[in-house]
Amino acid sequence: MPARPLVIQTEPLDREAAAWLAERVELVECASDDAARFGGLLSRADGLAIRTYTVVNDALLARAPRLRVIGRAGVGLDNVDVEACRGRGVAVVSTPGANTRAVVELVTAFMLDALRPRVYLDRAAEQREWTTVRKNLIAPRQLCDLTLGIIGFGRVGSAVARVGAAMEMRVIYNDLIEIPAERRSGAAPARFEEVLGAADVLTIHVDGRGTNRELIDGRALARCKPEVVFINTSRGFVVDPASLGAFLRSNLRATALVDVHEPEPFGVDYPLLGLANARLTPHIGAATATAHRNMSWVVRDIWRVLNGEKPENPA
């Protein structure tokens, strides 16, 4: 019998999805930073199953002469040089939409964290303390009175717009393409500068193209309201952290909730560390069991390519 194709799994996959692929190929788990072992496997690998922290560039591809497919268990392809792959005839597949609901949940939680202060009681309280706590938790702003500004109106951005509409917020957005009215959920298109200036809550959902690097810089932030709630769950590099840090220090009523960073993990010199109005999370937008399971089924497209079939979600 002919040898089964070799696929290297460099990062965790859902157990069921990995088992499904292992029934069809020789599946070997090996982190890409295990230099000696990974290099040996790569020289004879037909496929790679990766997630966020395996970088596929021309140097890696040069060491993988048999490679036919790279499956990214996730949405963005920021860590994959798609053009270099195409130049070598390597297919790239991913799982668009697999984590949309999870990211939207996190954005919604961020909005409520910023705008609805709350404490959880763990003991009885006397009347005076009870009254004081309740008074201190009066939210100065309510979502239905605010404008939600969305930069990037793809799968996640448009779903966030539906949440905003359900909360009776005014929703405006900016995107590079014209969005049909029936897909806007009542959101109104606006120029980039208009969204920045009008948003009480500003949330970023752009893709990984190079022109989005430091899209949110000092000039962009200067247009924002001094009490803006700023949310980034898209990519770390779209925000200049030094400019955001300076903005937060100058506008103490503003709040930034940032889930994605550059680099990851960041070091002690990260400009947002130590700021009372910056809340940082460790890239957890897709951190639900459902999203992880959905993303892991990129294995189906890996197998389709290896089996000579057309993938459902090519890059």
Which positions are annotated as active-site residues? 235, 264, 283
Burial class for 267, CB neighbours closer than 10 Å (0-12, 13-18, 19+): exposed
Query: b/e per residue, 191-221, with b = 16+ CB within 10 A?
Result: eeeebbbbbbbbbbbbbbeeebeebbeeebb
Burial class for 298, CB neighbours closer than 10 Å (0-12, 13-18, 19+): buried
Element (H, E) at 84: helix 82-87
Please answer whether residues 107 and 85 qualify as being in contact, where contact means their C-beta atoms are separated by less than 8 angstroms.
no
CA–CA gap between residue 216 and residue 242 (Å, rounded): 11
Among residues 198, 206, 193, which one has the least CA distance to residue 260? 206
Structure-token pair, residue 116? 């609805």
Please answer whether residues 17 and 37 qualify as being in contact, where contact means their C-beta atoms are separated by less than 8 angstroms.
no
